[in-house]
Amino acid sequence: MVKMKVAVSAAGGSLEAQVDPRFGRCPYFVIVDIDTMAFEAIPNISAGAMSGAGIQAAQAIAKKGVQAVITGSVGPNAYQALSAAGIRIFIGAFGTVRDAVESFKNGRLQEATIPGPMGAGMGRGMGMRRGMGRGMGRGLGGFSAPPFLQTPMNPPIPPPMSREEEILILEDQMKSLQQTLERIKKRLDELKGSR
């Protein structure tokens, strides 16, 4: 039996960490064996890259032998790199990494057939492309196409996050930003001290 490994974009390095909706700029990838739930957390070293973060992240994930990525959304360059590596992309994930893997196993995540806009899958209508009921496909939030009309441009609206879930995500993101700021300050001090 072939074991299936998936990589989940996450705000932290555990199964209880919140899914980070950003693929290329998430702080961690949690790589999970979907049968045993054994996992490995790897920091996303490309998260702070000036450009090419999605491509670099895709290359790092491909080296780990995953068959699928679970995230909120993925940009065009990362989409191409993942597709070229034969890695399937599932979007619309939210909640904890464990929740996202369970949703994947139960077929509740949508497979991306085109790159998605930032924020897809967060359930808040932020920058998501949704149909307006007139075939336009460019409205913001509010309208979820009926199942027979759902396409990558008109995905179903996931249930909204609870206040507690949103607080956890924001706290994780704040912690990650504080750690990044500390690394930047340390490096600046090193550079200034070596003049």
Cβ atoms within 10 Å of 50's Cβ, excluding its own: 5
Q: Does 78 reside within a domain?
A: yes
- With 60 as the cut, is the pLDDT of residue 5 above it? yes
Q: How confident is the model at residue 41 (pLDDT cuts 50, 70, 90)?
A: very high
Highest mean pLDDT among 22-26, 28-32, 132-136: 28-32
In a domain, 132, yes or no: no
In a domain, 184, yes or no: yes
136 in a domain, yes or no? no
Neighbour tally for 101: CB within 10 Å: 23
The pair of structure tokens assigned to 70 is 């679970």
Range of the domain at 185: 5-127+146-193
Q: How many domains is the chain partitioned into structurally?
A: 1
Q: What was the pLDDT predicted at 142?
A: 38
Q: Is residue 139 part of a domain?
A: no
Contact 12, 44 (CB under 8 A): no
Residue 167 lies in a domain: yes
Crossing angle of helices 53-63 and 76-84, in 10° steps, is 20
pLDDT digits (tens, 9 = 90+) for 53-96: 889 999 999 999 999 999 988 888 889 999 999 999 998 888 99
For residue 148, the tally of other CB atoms under 10 A from its CB is 5
Q: Say whether pLDDT at 178 is over 90.
A: no
The pTM for the full model equals 0.59
47 vs 118, residue with greater confidence: 47
Does 8 have pLDDT greater than 70? Answer: yes
pLDDT-based confidence at 151, cuts 50/70/90?
A: very low
The tokens 């930047």 sit on which residue?
184
